[in-house]
Amino acid sequence: VHLLESGGGSVQSGGSLTLSCVASRYTSGAYCMGWFRQSPGHRREGVAAIDNGSASYDESVEGRFTISQDNAKRTLYLHVNNLKPEDTAMYYCAAGPCWAVATFSLVRSPNLGYWGQGTPVTVSS
């Protein structure tokens, strides 16, 4: 599975973006998908995941980020609102076993899944 992210950019604090991730083939039923991020000097961390329509979020983005999926378009979205400077990072889309994606533990075993190249988000204060 090849994943291609887009939609990142530079915004001011409080701004919004919509990140997209297109998969090279259908993943529904085979994998769960999620969004992860990594800022300079920090480990990659889970942000949001979706499993058969059920979403889960890291507490740091709860209420501000929304993950959604359009299976017909093989596309995963992350709507990010009320952005903060600490949200600045490279955002990655991933597909993998549901148990690993939903718990964000895929970051500890990245070879279990598929990763995109990332799309950068920069938030200025």
pLDDT band at residue 46, thresholds of 50, 70 and 90?
A: very high
Spatial CA neighbour of 77 closest among 5, 15, 1, 10: 5
Q: Is the pLDDT of residue 80 over 90?
A: yes
Residue 20 tokens read as 């997209």
pLDDT band at residue 66, thresholds of 50, 70 and 90?
A: very high
CB atoms within 10 A of CB 12: 11
Q: Rounded distance, CA 79 to CA 83, Å?
A: 10
